[in-house]
C-alpha cells in the first residue's frame, strides 16, 4: 500500500508544472524523489539543448550554403574582372605597339622628308652652279634700239654687229641666243628701260676673244649707233648673285615677288611699291625703317 501511495504521489508531482514545483518545498522531498526529479530535469534540459542545437545547426548550414553561393558568385565576378582586365591589358599592349609603330613610321617619314629637302637643296645648288657656269659664256649687248630687236630678233642683230665691227671673226664664233631681260631705270625703278640682249656663246674662248677685240676697237656700233659689249656675268657678279640666293628664297616664301635683275640687283614688292637694291648694305639700311622686313631678314643681313 505504501508503495502504491508513493507511486501515486510521484505521478501527481509529475503533473505539477516546473514553476509550481519550484514553489513547493523541495527540501521536504525524500532524497530518492529529489534525485529522480534532478535527473529528469537534466534529461529535459538535454533534450531542449539538443533541439536548439539542431535548429542552430540547420541555421548554420543554411547560412553556410548562402555563403558558399555568395563565394561562388564572387569568384565568378572576380574571374570575369580578371578576364576583362586581361582583355584591357591586351588592348593597351596592342595600342602601345601600334603607337610605337606609328612613331617609327613618323621618324622614318621625317628622316625621308629631311633627306628629300637636303637632296632638293643639293640639286638646287648644283643647278644654280651649273647655270652660273653656263652664264660665264654669255655676252651682253647694251644700247641696241628696241625697234630693231622686234623686227629682226637678237640672233640676227648679233650677226650684223659681228659683220659690222669684226668682219674677220664672223665665221669663227658659234652663237646661240639665250634670253632677253629688262633692267630697271636707275632713277625710277618702276620705269623699264629697253631690254639688253644676252648672247650665249658655244665656247668661253669665243667670249674672251670677242671681248678682247671690243676693248681694242674701243668703239662698237650697230648701224652707226654706239653700243657696248660686256661680259654677262663676271666672277664677282656671279658671287654677288649667289649672295642674294637665301634672301630670294625667304622673300618668295613671303610672296614679295622677288626678282634678280641684271647684273646682280634684287627687286621685290613691299608695301605696294617695287624696291630695288644693288647690295645687302643698302637693303640692310632700308630694312631698319621697316620692322616687318627687318624681322623677316634678321638672320640673312
The CATH number for 214's domain is 3.30.70.1820
71 vs 272: CA distance, rounded Å: 85
**Tell me: the pLDDT tens digits for 252-277?**
888 898 888 766 789 999 988 999 99
My answer on whether 263 and 194 are in the same domain is no
Residue 292 lies in a domain: yes
Residue 247 lies in a domain: yes
68 vs 63: CA distance, rounded Å: 9
Short-list 90, 71, 68, 89, CA closest to 79? 71
My answer on whether 34 and 124 are in the same domain is yes
List, for the chain, all residue ranges whose pLDDT scores fall below the cut of 70.
1-27, 29, 124-136, 147-151, 170-195, 232-236, 262-263
Structural domain tally of the chain? 3
My answer on whether 115 and 67 are in the same domain is yes
Sorted by sequence, the CB contacts under 8 Å of residue 271 that are 6+ apart come out as: 290
Residue 11 lies in a domain: yes
Q: Residue 289 has what pLDDT?
A: 92
177 vs 138: CA distance, rounded Å: 9
My answer on whether 156 and 120 are in the same domain is no
Residue 24 lies in a domain: no
Residue 272 lies in a domain: yes
**Tell me: the pLDDT tens digits for 125-144?**
666 555 555 556 777 788 88
Mark which of 133, 150, 167 sits at the end of a domain.
133
Residue 248 lies in a domain: yes
Mark which of 102, 133, 164 sits at the end of a domain.
133
CATH number at residue 249: 3.30.250.20
* Contact between 141 and 196 (Cβ < 8 Å): yes
170 vs 168: CA distance, rounded Å: 6
My answer on whether 5 and 101 are in the same domain is yes
My answer on whether 9 and 117 are in the same domain is yes
Mark which of 133, 160, 185 sits at the end of a domain.
133
β-strand partners of 179: 198
My answer on whether 219 and 273 are in the same domain is no
My answer on whether 1 and 129 are in the same domain is yes
My answer on whether 1 and 93 are in the same domain is yes
Range of the domain at 115: 1-15+29-133
Residue 245 lies in a domain: yes
Q: What is the 3-state secondary structure (H, E, C) of the chain?
A: CHHHHHHHHHHHHHHCCHHHHHHCCHHHCCHHHHHHHHHHHHHHHHHHHHHHHHHHHHHHHHHHHHHHHHHHHHHHHHHHHHHHHHHHHHHHHHHHHHHHHHHHHHHHHHHHHHHHHHHHHHHHHHHHHHHHHHHCCEEEEECCCHHHHHHHCHHHHHHHHHHHHCHHHCCCCCEEEEEEECCECCCCCCCECCCEEEEEECCHHHHHHHHHHHHHHCCEEECCEEEEEEECCCHHHHHHHHHCHHHHHHHHHCCCCCEEECCCEEEEEECCEEEEECCHHHHHHHHCCCHHHHHHCCCCC
Residue 291 lies in a domain: yes
My answer on whether 162 and 284 are in the same domain is no
Q: pTM of the full predicted structure?
A: 0.35
Amino acid at each position: 500500500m505504501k508503495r502504491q501511495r508513493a507511486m501515486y504521489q510521484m505521478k501527481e508531482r509529475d503533473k505539477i508544472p516546473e514553476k509550481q514545483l519550484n514553489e513547493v518545498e523541495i527540501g521536504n522531498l525524500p532524497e530518492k524523489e529529489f534525485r529522480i526529479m534532478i535527473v529528469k530535469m537534466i534529461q529535459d534540459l538535454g533534450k531542449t539543448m539538443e533541439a536548439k542545437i539542431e535548429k542552430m545547426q540547420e541555421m548554420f548550414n543554411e547560412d553556410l550554403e548562402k555563403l558558399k553561393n555568395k563565394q561562388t558568385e564572387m569568384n565568378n565576378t572576380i574571374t570575369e574582372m580578371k578576364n576583362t582586365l586581361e582583355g584591357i591589358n591586351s588592348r593597351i599592349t596592342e595600342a602601345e605597339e601600334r603607337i610605337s609603330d606609328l612613331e617609327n613610321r613618323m621618324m622614318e617619314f621625317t628622316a625621308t622628308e629631311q633627306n628629300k629637302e637636303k637632296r632638293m637643296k643639293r640639286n638646287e645648288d648644283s643647278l644654280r652652279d651649273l647655270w652660273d657656269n653656263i652664264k660665264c659664256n654669255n655676252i651682253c649687248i647694251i644700247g641696241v634700239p628696241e625697234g630693231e630687236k622686234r623686227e629682226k630678233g637678237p640672233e640676227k642683230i648679233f650677226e650684223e654687229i659681228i659683220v659690222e665691227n669684226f668682219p674677220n671673226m664672223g665665221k669663227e664664233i658659234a652663237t646661240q641666243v639665250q634670253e632677253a631681260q629688262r633692267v630697271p631705270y636707275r632713277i625710277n625703278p618702276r620705269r623699264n628701260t629697253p631690254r639688253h640682249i644676252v648672247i650665249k656663246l658655244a665656247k668661253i674662248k669665243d667670249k674672251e676673244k670677242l671681248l678682247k677685240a671690243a676693248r681694242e676697237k674701243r668703239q662698237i656700233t650697230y648701224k652707226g649707233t654706239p653700243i657696248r659689249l660686256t661680259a654677262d656675268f663676271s666672277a664677282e657678279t656671279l658671287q654677288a648673285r649667289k649672295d642674294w640666293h637665301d634672301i630670294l628664297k625667304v622673300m618668295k616664301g613671303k610672296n614679295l615677288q622677288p626678282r634678280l635683275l641684271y647684273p646682280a640687283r634684287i627687286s621685290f614688292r613691299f608695301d605696294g611699291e617695287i624696291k630695288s637694291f644693288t647690295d645687302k648694305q643698302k637693303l640692310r639700311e632700308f630694312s631698319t625703317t621697316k620692322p616687318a622686313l627687318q624681322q623677316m631678314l634678321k638672320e640673312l643681313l
